[in-house]
């Protein structure tokens, strides 16, 4: 696109005391480095604060006890409120665009403004004699963004390691920083072509000048990457997207290398080095997680490939995968990339680990969608009869490969109160977080069988500052409860054990399962009427349902590949499960919802063809004051407020589920924080929010 050979243009200045092109590049990275530095400082302070709370001997370890900590809590609350605000979704016919929170958007917009200002500062874009100088500077500013794009893309992420941010969150920034890169490259090309157009010279330069051809080729490849990076195309076939993305990115870097002058080729070598580092690190992680030879404790106990998994089908087209005695360690809330090449060749899918290291096994619940996950479910069903009998365990086992663990979540043990929301399969993320806290309660109560009890005795360090847990799980069908029934039973038994071991045990836990109607939630939109806030006789509020209106809130549970029965309960085709429970404490006895459709498990003969329906197994409700099963939809704001009003320190709210649930919880947290004037230093305790999803 431009003739940039044969001279050192990086030292060129635009005159009038303007910085050189190299200096503009350094200024940009000074800005980027400052933002990363702020993230590092925040991460260090967060870790220090968590450690300080666990060593605090008072009854309120999560509460600020000095002016300094109070000021920090106020600054944190102000930042959280501003960062978590989300605009209303944009509706295009039947498609809904869910917007990300203002925090991430602000960072992306700040990067865009910085780039545009540095590209055009001091120039008169209408002056034709400036177009060549603008072309040079925009080119230099475009190429210096490449390392940041690659830094944000890797799974072994240096920025994530320093700032305590998981790679999947940084991947969202990677996509939008890449789109800023495309915009700056387009501006760069546009000003050079604008300069050539004065002399009708564009075609001639493309035919005769190799640098122009290489530059135009790089822009074309980058445009293809830009167009294929949007969600509908990525989700169409993710494996194909990843393959073509890697190939086209390699082609783009090659074209940029041929186009760039020698003095800025370092900006191409840095991304190449980062890619090589990421791949090398991932190979090491893969070997460590799968080869018994690299683990001295397992060399003689396990085969060369250390991980073998069993597959069990569950109601709702769910597969339970279990890997006994894995060679890796992990933290609650993390995930691995799972591959079983004998079932789904050359595929790897991210599955959340729902077990704890103390369980000495990796457990996953995997929904059967299409492609690899459906083949996994078909394989599990092949060795499973409708009566739940399994053939020989050896036939039901397969060698599997895992990569990870990945994911980074602040330890919830540092918070006074924890509220966990899950929609559908989101339980795989929130369940281990709850179990981790309950296990620390057992250790602190002196249960010698619990992991970490010796560490507790040696250090006299508090293992958890958490006093109360509120767990909410929203599901469509009663049969789905069977996925976690034994887990819930075990959790409540652990709490009862704590009460026996510690007569003064003051911890609280409450589990609530909300049953919603099947596909009716996909067909209707919830629009609360003024009358919705008046309590009814059965404690469930009236909710008006309107068709074909602007989507205010999407379904709280993800769609499932199960048959619909078309059944309804109540008059006028309404269902008690669709209504919102304003306050579940007012519900004396949960109403029965008759619109739950049947679960489905394919038979061995029909595993590769049709699905044979099966009635859901009966559910034995846990006889405990800590557990409730309710027909209806939760009201997150009320649930969170009830916990916050009793909190004696900072609280945490975690949500994992569909966009509708996540948006409702996020809005509730922002509203309650503002209502309590946490950001004004009123003394009300802060609220930490974590929304678990892959991108916005």
The pLDDT tens digits of the residues spanning 446-471 come to 765 555 555 454 456 788 999 999 99
Contact criterion met (CB below 8 Å) for 420 and 654: yes
Q: Go through 236-257 and write b for each residue having 16 or more CB atoms within 10 A of its CB, e for each that does not.
A: eeeeeeeeebeeebebbbbbbb
Structure token digits, residue 667: 């809005």
**Which residue has better confidence, 426 or 16?**
426
Residues 418-422 have a mean pLDDT of 96
The rounded mean pLDDT for the chain is 80
User: What is the pLDDT, as a whole number, of residue 526?
Assistant: 34
- Same structural domain, 392 and 418: no
Give me the DSSP letters along 223-272.
HHHHHTTSHHHHHH-HHHHHHHHHHHHHHHHHHHHHHS-GGGTHHHHHHH
Residues 428 and 382 in one domain: no
* Position 164 confidence tier, pLDDT thresholds 50, 70, 90: very high
Q: Using CA atoms, how far apart are residues 191 and 181, in angstroms rounded to an integer?
A: 16
Q: How confident is the model at residue 404 (pLDDT cuts 50, 70, 90)?
A: confident
Q: What is the pLDDT of residue 256?
A: 96
Which one of 251, 286, 321 terminates a domain? Answer: 286
| Phi, psi of 390, deg, nearest 5 | -110, 145
Dmax over CA atoms of the chain, in Å, equals 90
Does residue 146 belong to any structural domain of this protein? yes
> Which of 243, 268, 286 finishes a domain?
286
Task: Lowest mean pLDDT of 50-54, 251-255, 432-436, 475-479, name the range.
Answer: 475-479
Q: In this structure, are 648 and 664 located in the same domain?
A: yes
Same-domain check for residues 443 and 512 = yes
231: its two tokens:
């969600």
CA distance 82 to 75: 11
**Position with higher pLDDT, 36 vs 445:** 36
Question: Domain limits at 65?
Answer: 21-199+260-286
Q: Which CATH number belongs to the domain containing residue 374 in this structure?
A: 2.40.30.10
Residues 141 and 172 in one domain: yes
Give tens-digit pLDDT for 107-160.
999 999 999 999 999 999 999 989 999 999 999 999 999 999 999 998 888 999
Q: Are residues 504 and 609 in the same domain?
A: yes
Same structural domain, 342 and 430: no
Q: Please compute the mean of the pLDDT values over residues 588-602 and round it to a whole number.
A: 45
Do 333 and 454 belong to one domain?
Answer: no
Asked if residue 225 belongs to a domain, the reply is: no
Q: Calculate mean pLDDT across residues 289-294.
A: 86
Q: Which of 375-389, 420-434, 480-494, 607-621 ranks highest by mean pLDDT?
A: 420-434
Q: Is residue 494 part of a domain?
A: yes
Can you give the pLDDT at residue 435? 95
User: 491 with 371, same domain?
Assistant: no
Contact 468, 505 (CB under 8 A): no
Q: What is the pTM of this model?
A: 0.83
The DSSP bridge partners found for residue 366 are 319
Asked if the model's pLDDT at residue 587 lies above 90, the reply is no
More confident residue, 450 or 244: 244
Q: What is the CA radius of gyration of the chain?
A: 28
pLDDT for 272 beyond 60: yes
User: 13: which DSSP letter?
Assistant: B
The answer to whether 468 and 461 have CB atoms below 8 angstroms apart is no
Higher pLDDT, 340 or 538: 340
Q: Answer whether 423's CB lies under 8 Å from 429's CB.
A: no
Domain finish residue from 367, 390, 406: 406
Same domain, 365 and 381: yes
**φ, ψ for residue 403 (rounded to 5)?**
-130, 125
Domain-located, residue 553 = yes
Within-domain flag for 462? yes
Q: Are residues 337 and 454 in the same domain?
A: no
The mean pLDDT of 250-268, rounded to a whole number, is 95
505 token code pair: 């045990």
318 domain-assigned = yes
d(C-alpha 229, C-alpha 245), whole Å: 8
CB of 549 closer than 8 Å to CB of 525: yes
Are the beta carbons of 324 and 360 closer than 8 angstroms?
yes
Within this chain, do residues 190 and 337 fall inside the same structural domain, yes or no?
Answer: no
* 252: in domain: no
Number of separate domains in the chain: 3
> Per residue in 641-682, pLDDT tens?
999 989 988 999 999 998 889 999 999 999 998 887 775 666
Angle between helices 102-120 and 131-143 (to 10 degrees): 140
Alpha-carbon distance 597 to 569, whole Å? 12
Give the number of other CB atoms < 10 A from CB of residue 210. Answer: 10
Domain for residue 189, yes or no?
yes
**Structure confidence by residue, pLDDT tens digits, 191-240:** 999 999 999 999 999 999 999 999 999 999 999 999 998 877 887 777 78
């Amino acid at each position: 696109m431009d003739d940039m050979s044969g001279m050192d243009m990086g030292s060129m200045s635009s005159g009038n005391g303007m910085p050189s092109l190299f200096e503009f590049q350094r200024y940009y990275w000074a800005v980027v480095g400052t933002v990363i530095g702020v993230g590092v400082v925040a991460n260090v302070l967060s870790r220090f604060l968590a450690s300080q709370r666990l060593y605090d001997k008072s009854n309120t370890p999560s509460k600020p006890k000095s002016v300094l900590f109070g000021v920090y809590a106020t600054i944190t609350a102000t930042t959280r409120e501003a960062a978590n605000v989300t605009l209303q979704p944009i509706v295009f016919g039947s498609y809904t665009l869910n917007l990300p929170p203002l925090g991430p958007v602000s960072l992306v917009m700040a990067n865009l403004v910085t780039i545009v200002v540095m590209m055009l500062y001091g120039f008169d874009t209408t002056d034709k004699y400036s177009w060549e100088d603008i072309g040079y500077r925009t080119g230099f500013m475009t190429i210096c963004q490449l390392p940041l794009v690659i830094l944000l893309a890797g799974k072994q992420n240096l920025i994530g390691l320093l700032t305590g941010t998981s790679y999947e969150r940084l991947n969202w920034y990677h996509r939008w920083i890449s789109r800023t890169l495309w915009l700056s490259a387009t501006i760069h090309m546009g000003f050079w072509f604008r300069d050539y157009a004065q002399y009708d010279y564009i075609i001639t330069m493309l035919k005769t000048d190799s640098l122009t051809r290489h530059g135009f080729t790089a822009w074309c490849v980058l445009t293809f990457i830009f167009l294929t990076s949007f969600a509908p195309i990525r989700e169409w076939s993710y494996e194909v997207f990843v393959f073509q993305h890697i190939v086209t990115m390699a082609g783009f870097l090659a074209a940029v290398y041929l186009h760039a002058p020698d003095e800025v080729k370092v900006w191409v070598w840095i991304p190449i080095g980062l890619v090589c580092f990421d791949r090398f690190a991932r190979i090491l992680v893969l070997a460590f997680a799968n080869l018994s030879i690299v683990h001295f404790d397992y060399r003689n106990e396990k085969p060369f490939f250390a991980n073998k998994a069993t597959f069990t089908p569950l109601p709702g087209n769910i597969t339970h995968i279990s890997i006994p005695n894995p060679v890796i360690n992990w933290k609650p809330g993390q995930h691995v990339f799972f591959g079983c090449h004998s079932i789904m060749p050359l595929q790897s899918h991210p599955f959340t680990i729902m077990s704890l290291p103390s369980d000495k096994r990796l457990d996953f619940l995997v929904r059967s969608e299409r492609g690899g996950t459906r083949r996994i479910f078909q394989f599990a069903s092949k060795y499973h009869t409708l009566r739940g009998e399994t053939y020989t365990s050896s036939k039901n086992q397969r060698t599997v490969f895992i990569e990870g663990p990945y994911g980074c979540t602040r330890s919830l043990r540092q918070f006074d109160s924890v509220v966990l929301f899950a929609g559908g399969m989101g339980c795989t993320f929130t369940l281990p977080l709850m179990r981790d806290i309950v296990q620390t309660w057992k250790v602190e109560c002196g249960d010698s069988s619990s992991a970490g009890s010796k560490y507790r005795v040696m250090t006299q360090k508090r293992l958890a500052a958490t006093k109360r847990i509120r767990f909410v799980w929203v599901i469509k069908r009663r049969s789905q409860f069977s996925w976690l029934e034994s887990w819930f039973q075990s959790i409540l038994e652990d709490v009862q054990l704590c009460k026996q071991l510690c007569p003064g045990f003051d911890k609280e836990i409450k589990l609530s399962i909300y049953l919603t109607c099947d596909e009716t939630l996909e067909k209707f939109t919830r629009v609360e009427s003024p009358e919705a806030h008046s309590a009814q006789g059965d404690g469930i509020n009236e909710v008006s349902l309107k068709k074909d209106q602007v989507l205010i809130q999407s379904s709280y549970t993800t769609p499932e590949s199960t048959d619909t029965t078309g059944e309804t309960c109540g008059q006028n085709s309404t269902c008690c499960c669709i209504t919102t429970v304003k306050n579940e404490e007012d519900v004396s006895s949960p109403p029965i919802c008759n619109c739950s459709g049947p679960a489905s498990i394919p038979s061995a003969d029909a595993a590769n063809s049709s699905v044979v329906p099966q009635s859901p197994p009966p559910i034995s409700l846990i006889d405990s004051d800590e557990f409730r099963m309710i027909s209806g939809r939760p009201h997150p704001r009320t649930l969170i407020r009830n916990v916050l009003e009793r909190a004696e320190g900072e609280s945490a709210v975690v949500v994992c589920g569909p966009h509708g649930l996540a948006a409702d919880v996020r809005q509730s947290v922002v509203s309650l924080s503002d209502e309590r004037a946490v950001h004004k230093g009123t003394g009300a305790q802060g609220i930490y929010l974590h929304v678990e999803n892959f991108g916005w």
